[in-house]
Structure 1
Amino acid sequence: MLSHRLLVLAAPLFLATAPLAHAETAALRCDQLAAHPGDPQKPAGIAGVATGAIEFETAIAACREAIASDPAPRFHYQLGRALYDKDDTAGAFAEIAIAADAGLAVAKAQLGYFYDQGIGTTHDLKKAIALYRAGADANVGFAAHNLAVVLRDEKDAPIDHAASFALFQKAVSLGYDQSLVDVGFAYDTGNGVTQDYAEALVWYRKAAEKDIPEAQNNIGVLYEEGNGVAQDPAEALVWYRKAQAQDYPLADFNIAHMFANGVGMTVDQGKAVELVLAGFEKGNADDDAFNRDFLFEDSWPAAFWSALQIKLSLPETGTLDAATRSAIEGLVGA
């Protein structure tokens, strides 16, 4: 950190040192309140604060004070994080861009996410990929993870499952726990690696130990379908319930599917409908779109459609007809 520059060098000692101590205190507060847990360049002894958990008003004040004395890139980045948590996306983008332009790796990774999602700026996947790659090369775990997701899922980018798998592995090695699920998913689906359900379960269990609901849900799927383990609907339900307890919407749909088809339990279409609607209430637009597609699969019985149609005050046909499709589309992102 650059020290505060004092113009009057001949000032008495107590006058010279007080502003410096004050600047260091502001810098320390900014670090403590808004550093990213995955920033490999954050000061020693600073744990970092997760996005969404920043005490943003206090952090904004501390980081602005720190910048006034020392415009170091990390203070601009941390101010941007606090502004993001305050829902000031334009301000967040501006501050994080300053830090990224100055070469701060974690800021480049964050700016990549903003371009990827169109947050505070227009969507630009090409810029996002370049920034993610710069962050990943500098050992920012979430940059490696996000780039891996793009290379696996993004329809507007060249799909490269092998590179994606390697990046998920790198993210795990850097302590980014969410990627544990994705390494498991690669083994589950055979994307970038030889399909191996038993190995998928190993990685899902590692993630489940971190209370990651996607992993808990996916373990449930393995048990429900008997992939890599003996088929066990009761054990599947245990894992779905764990994910459901963390408000993971797909778990609601998976349990609903079990009720609708009587898998390991008595058929209960009313409960299935209740869970489906609860899942839509919990989910964001991406969750809802995925779960809509699950509903549109040919695996829900006529009695389920009748129960859903009655609940939604639609004509009861017992089929996924045009009116029912339209009503479900209206639930997506609502």
Structure 2
Amino acid sequence: MNRSLCILSTIAVLIGSAAFAEPSDDFKALMARMDYVAGDYAAAIAKAQPLADAGQPRALTLLGVMYENGRGVTADPAKALEYYQKAADQGYPQAIQNLAVSYRFGELGLVEDDAKARELLAQAAATDFGPSLSELALMLREGEGGPVDMPMAVALFERSVAVGDPVGTAEYAFMLATGTGVTVDLPRARGLYEIAAAQAIDWAERDYGEMLELGEGGPIDLTQALEYYRRSAVQGYGIAAFDIFEMYRANSAALPDTKAEALTMCFFAEAQPPQWDGSEYDGMCDPALADYTPEEITAARKAAAAL
């Protein structure tokens, strides 16, 4: 599982009177991180390795990610674990998060241990680290690694929304939309889904599209619903692809230009493995085929295969 290094949206460098001062080690590690994001792994290692050797936690975590995923180096789970642990021992939240995920899913040679994962996530969440707030909230909501604690899960999700974590924002939107542990609040759910969808969370894009299509929490907007379904579908989310097909079938007069795309998306959904909720779409396009010419069907199958 690839880990996010929590990409910074902005790096502000205040130069002022210290224009020619030696950059801090943390700044140097950020520069290594930028090389990594740009795909220049050799430059990232060249910058990060001496910093990591000196114990700089951001650099240690970066090297951990590179050794875990084999980016610019031969994948080495043991070395990745060593780097993460050294950074985590200094309280660095991203490293603690990565260790927690490794325990949760039994990765990097570790035995799966939800209780240990939950303990580590609590440490990182205490620093207001968004991904850990969300991950811990999920475990508390589902009772993984310990008892269910819905009030604390809700509080952590609320905090994850406040710090801008997209996964936590999407999960809390789901809870508000379905009444899971909270009172249903469709307008707020819709607003939070929109925020998460803007950060390319595929299932949030799909769920936001559904709320737009059905007019849940606000007015119906088929044009925008189609756009968000598309965004989700092109990330490989089969449920959203099938939603485009169903929305066209229910609203063909309002969406006349979507006929060919609808069948393409249906064929694409048919080709996907079972979705997280068990949905499978084999044969689901068949009832609509009578509405298409053989040429249109062939073209749609070809387009779906290219997605």
The two structures have a TM-score, normalised by structure 1, of 0.64
- In structure 1, runs of 5+ residues without a counterpart are 1-20, 35-47, 282-287, 306-334
Does 1:116 pair with 2:86? no
The partner residue of 1:274 within 267, 280, 286 is 267
Does 1:31 pair with 2:16? no
- Work out whether residues 266 and 285 of structure 2, in 8 Å CA contact, stay in contact via their aligned partners in 1: no
Task: Name whichever of 208-217 and 128-137 sits farther off.
Answer: 208-217
- Work out whether residues 161 and 169 of structure 2, in 8 Å CA contact, stay in contact via their aligned partners in 1: yes
- Work out whether residues 256 and 275 of structure 1, in 8 Å CA contact, stay in contact via their aligned partners in 2: no
Shift of 1:131: 0.5
In the TM superposition, what whole-angstrom CA distance separates every residue of 1:278-312 from its partner, at most 9, and x where no partner exists?
5x27xxxxxx4415x12389xx587379xxxxxxx
Aligned to 1:195: 184
- In structure 2, runs of 5+ residues without a counterpart are 1-21, 254-258, 290-307
Distance (Å, rounded) in 1 between the aligned partners of 2:64 and 2:217: 45
In the TM superposition, what whole-angstrom CA distance separates every residue of 1:194-232 from its partner, at most 9, and x where no partner exists?
101122112122333445443331121113334223555
RMSD value, Cα? 3.6
The partner residue of 1:140 within 129, 132, 153 is 129
Decide whether aligned partners of structure 1 residues 133 and 229 sit closer, same or farther in structure 2, where only a CA change above 3 A counts. same
The partner residue of 1:169 within 158, 164, 168 is 158
Does 1:59 pair with 2:44? yes
Q: Percent identity?
A: 25
Shift of 1:237: 2.3
Does 1:76 pair with 2:63? no
- Work out whether residues 187 and 199 of structure 1, in 8 Å CA contact, stay in contact via their aligned partners in 2: yes
Aligned to 2:276: 290
Does 1:303 pair with 2:287? yes
- Work out whether residues 255 and 275 of structure 1, in 8 Å CA contact, stay in contact via their aligned partners in 2: no
Shift of 1:254: 2.0
- Work out whether residues 134 and 160 of structure 2, in 8 Å CA contact, stay in contact via their aligned partners in 1: yes
- Work out whether residues 162 and 191 of structure 1, in 8 Å CA contact, stay in contact via their aligned partners in 2: no
Larger Rg: 1
Decide whether aligned partners of structure 1 residues 237 and 154 sit closer, same or farther in structure 2, where only a CA change above 3 A counts. farther
- Work out whether residues 152 and 161 of structure 1, in 8 Å CA contact, stay in contact via their aligned partners in 2: yes
For 1:186, give the aligned amino acid: M
Distance (Å, rounded) in 1 between the aligned partners of 2:141 and 2:76: 27
Decide whether aligned partners of structure 1 residues 165 and 99 sit closer, same or farther in structure 2, where only a CA change above 3 A counts. same
Distance (Å, rounded) in 1 between the aligned partners of 2:158 and 2:200: 19
- Work out whether residues 176 and 189 of structure 2, in 8 Å CA contact, stay in contact via their aligned partners in 1: yes
Distance (Å, rounded) in 2 between the aligned partners of 1:29 and 1:226: 49
Distance (Å, rounded) in 2 between the aligned partners of 1:249 and 1:243: 8
Decide whether aligned partners of structure 1 residues 158 and 57 sit closer, same or farther in structure 2, where only a CA change above 3 A counts. farther
Shift of 1:167: 1.1
The two structures have a TM-score, normalised by structure 2, of 0.69
